[in-house]
Homo-oligomer: A and B are copies of this chain.
Amino acid sequence: MSSSSSSRKTSADARGESKRRTTINDIARLAGVSKKTVSRVLNNSPFVREETRLKVNSLMQEMGYTPDPQARGLAFRRSFLIGMVFDNPNAQMVVTMQEGVLDGLKGSGFELVVHACDRNGPNFLPEVAAFVERQKLFGVIVLPPISENNALVELLKERGCHYVRMASAVIDEPGNLVASTDSLATAEAAKHLADLGHTRIGFIAGPPGFRSREERRKGFLEGLKKHGIDLPAKNMVDGAYTYESGIAAAEKLLKLSPRPTAIFASNDEMAAGVYHAARQLGLSIPGDLSVVGFDDTPVSSRLWPPLTTVRWPIHDMGRAAAQHLLRAATDQAPDADNAVFPAFLVERESTAAAPK
Complex CA distance for A71 and B135, rounded to whole angstroms: 11
Residues of B within 8 A of A96 (CB): 91
Number of copies of this chain in the oligomer? 2
In the complex, the answer to whether B298 meets A243 with C-beta atoms within 8 Å is yes
Chain A 108-137 residues near chain B, CB threshold 8 A: 111-116, 130, 133-136
In the complex, the answer to whether A116 meets B133 with C-beta atoms within 8 Å is no
Contact code string A296-311 (vs B, CB < 8 Å = 1, else 0): 0011011110000000
Complex CA distance for A70 and B136, rounded to whole angstroms: 9
In the complex, the answer to whether A70 meets B79 with C-beta atoms within 8 Å is yes
Complex CA distance for A113 and B113, rounded to whole angstroms: 5
Complex CA distance for A299 and B269, rounded to whole angstroms: 10
Residues of B within 8 A of A81 (CB): 111, 113
Complex CA distance for A96 and B91, rounded to whole angstroms: 8
Chain A 77-107 residues near chain B, CB threshold 8 A: 79, 81, 91-92, 94-96, 98-99, 102
Question: What distance in Å separates the Cβ of A60 from its nearest Cβ neighbour in chain B?
Answer: 14
In the complex, the answer to whether A112 meets B111 with C-beta atoms within 8 Å is no
Tell yes or no: A69 within 8 A of B by CB: yes
Stretch at the interface among A177-185, A272-280, A334-342: A272-280
Identify which of A21, A134, A135, A304 gathers the most chain B CB atoms within 10 Å of its CB.
Answer: A134
Q: Out of B114, B269, B279, which one reaches A112, CB within 8 Å?
A: B114
In the complex, the answer to whether A113 meets B116 with C-beta atoms within 8 Å is no
Complex CA distance for A69 and B137, rounded to whole angstroms: 12
Which residue of B is nearest A300, CB measured?
A: B302
Interface residues in A, total, Cβ within 8 A: 41
In the complex, the answer to whether A111 meets B95 with C-beta atoms within 8 Å is no
Complex CA distance for A134 and B23, rounded to whole angstroms: 12
In the complex, the answer to whether A74 meets B68 with C-beta atoms within 8 Å is yes
Residues of B within 8 A of A45 (CB): none
In the complex, the answer to whether B111 meets A135 with C-beta atoms within 8 Å is yes
Residues of B within 8 A of A279 (CB): 304
In the complex, the answer to whether A98 meets B111 with C-beta atoms within 8 Å is no
Which residue of B is nearest A83, CB measured?
A: B111
In the complex, the answer to whether A21 meets B133 with C-beta atoms within 8 Å is yes
Complex CA distance for A276 and B302, rounded to whole angstroms: 8
Tell yes or no: A73 within 8 A of B by CB: yes
Residues of B within 8 A of A299 (CB): 298-299, 302
Which residue of B is nearest A103, CB measured?
A: B116
Residues of B within 8 A of A99 (CB): 116
* 16 cross-chain CB contacts under 8 A: A66-B134, A68-B74, A68-B134, A68-B136, A69-B134, A70-B73, A70-B136, A91-B96, A92-B95, A102-B115, A111-B135, A272-B302, A276-B302, A299-B302, A303-B303, A304-B304
